[in-house]
Amino acid sequence: MTAPLRVGNASGFYGDRFDAVREMLTGGELDVLTGDYLAELTLLILGRDLLKDPSAGYAKTFLRQMEDGLGLAHERGVRIVANAGGLNPAGLADALRALAGKLGLPTRVASVEGDRLRPGEGELTANAYLGGAGIAACLAAGADVVVTGRVTDAALVTGPAQWHFGWGPEEYDKLAGAVVAGHVLECGTQTTGGNYAFFTGHDVRRPGFPLAELHADGSAVITKHPGTGGLVDVGTVTAQLLYETAGARYPGPDVTARLDSVRLTQDGPDRVRIDGVRGEAPPPTLKAGSCRLGGFRNEVVFVLTGLDIEAKAALVRDQLADALSAHPPAEVRWELARTDREDAPTEETASALLRLVVRDPDPEKVGRTLTGAAIELALASYPGFHVTAPPGRGAPYGVFTTSAVPQRDVPHTAVLPDGTRREIPAPTRFRALEPVPEPALPPAHPPGPVRRAPLGRIAGARSGDKGGDANVGVWVRTEEEWRWLVHALTVDRFRELLPETADLDVTRHVLPNLRALNFTVAGILGEGVASQARFDPQAKALGEWLRSRRTDVPAALLEETR
């Protein structure tokens, strides 16, 4: 019987806790340590780096972490798999070989390539999302470290699992189980209490990083090293499962995982078992993402203090409208945040913030034109005029778009430790994605007295971005709460609670096994995180806004929660 595979995570994004690699390598037993360094915004950053220096384009933080990590991994027999290669995995692999030589280590380094596509007109980067088979081939060839470009986040786990257990490409249920475990691990401490809706009930000041004990049947246990902070429970795992997903079908290059089949069970302190996951043949296309320069943006935040806040805001808007009328930017957006309080004890709490954001393809219209107009108001506008920071010259912003490319048209190449290039074949079977019919709903919670209360008294939420869209996953902890939530939180009620979504396309997905609803909101983020079109450009707090909104909740459920 094949032993379980212990896979840990030490990074959820480019800039995550630097010493997590050491913590994970020294804190307990591991077979494989993974790191996720790529996101939509990261690829734009790496693309700019590559334009300045053809040898760049990868996550330099990872290379610095390996100055300590290579030796620790060698001592403990831990393989390392990371997508830190970004736009230049071959360059990172060469740098790692040079580092290993300098340290006197016999580290065998491999890489995975093929994800980079030919950019279209005006695009800075274009990448397809590859699966885990290339990683598996590198590990099978004896690699100690595998660095990749744009693979799916879950591929960092499915690749090692395919290698360790010898799964074939059509063992869909097992692969789907690894995909779900990989999705739970990919954002690091979001699984161990970070960004958790019910954080006040736990000590989450410094959560440890998660790991998964993967089994040959595709099941897994999510846990963390002994003595590390935070917690792992059904709630934290549910929250991460809902993060940046949509419907019951979660597509990937190797398999489509059925999120409506996932079962979560508390398996002891800081241990959650995942089983029952079903998989289907993958779709015939791969997700592809591209970044392009969208234009230039600038912003000014005016501080309005004390009395007549609305009149002060109106004065500034009128004055700048006149000043910018000769050469108006393509987009001008104002937002007044009433952070002020009446009869406030401090000047800061007596102040509101008026935010102006401008965009235009011409950097001059958002740079000197705006800067000069704003500065000239310093002695000629509302009483108490000042800004949070001097307006800058404007900065370029990126736009991230997604598309689909045929799987068979994208090369997938494993560059083995000895330099051999092995082409990874595309799957031979595909299944087109189709919506899953809404499951039968449980009986509604019995009628009775209700009280007006924040939704978050009952429900947790986790939200995030996918290009210009956002998702908001909402879950509850008991069957009685679920019987209320699934009937109460309809699409119409969701739109009422979040007025910014009223005119947008909102879709509700029902996941009974998780006692969860997952809402996708199309277009709320404009052209995506890199464009910073919204106050919360990645929709990180959209779920918390929803939880703060008041609605009629059965009094009996509120008493149980108390």
Task: Determine contact, residues 182/158, Cβ cutoff 8 Å.
Answer: yes
CB contact set of 145 (below 8 Å; sequence gap of 6+): 66, 70, 73, 79, 80, 81, 82, 96, 107, 108, 109, 110
For the chain of 562 residues, list the mean pLDDT of each consecutive stretch of 10.
94 97 98 94 88 94 98 98 98 98 98 94 92 98 98 98 98 98 98 97 96 98 98 98 95 98 98 98 96 90 97 97 88 94 96 95 89 92 94 85 94 98 97 93 94 97 91 97 98 97 96 97 80 79 97 94 72
What are the distances in angstroms from CA 437 to CA 175, 440, 511? 23, 9, 11
Give the phi and the psi of residue 261 in degrees, each rounded to 5.
-100, -10
Give the separation between CA 560 and CA 2, rounded to whole angstroms: 44
Output the CA torsion 20→23→24→27 (10° steps).
-160
Task: Determine contact, residues 92/111, Cβ cutoff 8 Å.
Answer: yes
pLDDT for the residue 392: 83
Task: Determine contact, residues 112/46, Cβ cutoff 8 Å.
Answer: no
User: Would you call 112 helix, strand, or coil by DSSP?
Assistant: strand
Provide the angle, in degrees to the nearest 10, between the axes of the packed helices 368-375 and 309-324.
130
pLDDT for the residue 401: 87
pTM value?
0.94
pLDDT for the residue 528: 64
pLDDT for the residue 103: 98
pLDDT for the residue 530: 60
Angle at CA 21, nearest 5°, toward 162 and 151?
Answer: 40
